[in-house]
Amino acid sequence: MKSYDFGPGHPFRGDRFEAFINLFRDKMGGNPAFKIIEPRYASDDELLLVHDEDYIARLIEGCRRYAGYDPDTPLHPSLESAARLIVGGSITACESILGEGDDRKAFGIGGGLHHAKKNREAGFCLYNDVAVSASKLIQVHGLRRILILDTDVHAGDGTAEIFYRDPRVLLIDIHQDPSTIYPGRGFIDEVGEGEGEGFTVNIPLPPGASDESYRLALEELFQPLAEEYKPDIIIRNGGSDPHFADMLGSLKLTLEGFKLIGAETRKAADKICHGRLVSLIGSGYNRKVLPYAWLALISGATGVEVKLEEPIRKPSEEIHLSRLDETLRVIGEVKKRIRSYWKL
């Protein structure tokens, strides 16, 4: 998986995975509640649930020839197989909690490649493992309703585009205001089309929004929507890039904020869908912060307490209260926009 690396000077480097595994082993490695499952490579048939056949062939050839279309996502020979491994790992995580056993929480490390479109790579993402996993759960395993919660600092425009007309997937996307950050999509008015109208819910937070803003968005929008939709499973994706020290975003989450995200998704899953929760964790661009935020997400999602201290000093004691008035305004606008679809 370390081959999912875009080279020196690029913000997405493959050493992130080893950094996380080392911290996980140090903090949680002795806990028998956790099982390590080796990922597998996604097959062509699985990728074709979402991606065009011509695109897959073009991507394989592009990686072989170092020739891509997106300058932010440079291709190289080992990248396509690494992307397949991430997709296969995300599918495995989802399938591992479908049985009647005790396993109800799973984590796909490296997952959350939410910018990839049906026929184009984008934003460091080759294949959309979030969409492929959800599509397999629906088309192969017969699940009827899937809730995807995207908490990455960037809107999941690829995932939104793929499911924009599909009511079998409710996408709730909490992200930084897209007028201030890539990909420039994910505005409140983007609610889906056709049969999928109302099943895309964007919650664009202002730059500077912090833990309390996420708490409000989760409590005021995510929880009631999840309870009304009654999904068969919840898939959450997103890594550490909403952290206050991340270089590619301007949100201000602390480690406690990441624990909160995990805990709120666990609360919803335990109440609504027999505890079935998958967390796909791959993003983040501050090497010092990334493993701690990833572990905080896992701690919150499992309820397993772990002592974590911020690796970088907080810039202000007021960080938890930053931009609350603007957040409340956004939440009010979202409720107004979707009230014809949902009982909020």
- Name every residue whose Cβ is closer than 8 Å to that of residue 44 and which is 6 or more positions away in sequence: 56
Strands 277-281 vs 233-237: parallel, antiparallel or unpaired? parallel
Total length of the chain: 344
Cα 145–135–224 angle (5° rounding)? 30
- Judge whether 121 and 56 are in contact, CB under 8 Å: no
d(CA 155, CA 173): 7
Please give the structure tokens belonging to residue 157. Answer: 């425009």
What is the 3-class SS of 273-322, one letter each residue?
A: CCCCEEEEECCCCCCCCHHHHHHHHHHHHHCCCCCCCCCCCCCCCCHHHC
Please give the structure tokens belonging to residue 123. Answer: 């934003």
SS3 70: coil
- Judge whether 246 and 289 are in contact, CB under 8 Å: yes
SS3 250: coil
Active site residue 141: no
Which residue in 10, 51, 76, 115 is the catalytic one? 115
d(CA 286, CA 248): 9
How distant, in Å, are the alpha carbons of 13, 245, 322 from that of 318? 32, 15, 6
The catalytic residues are 115
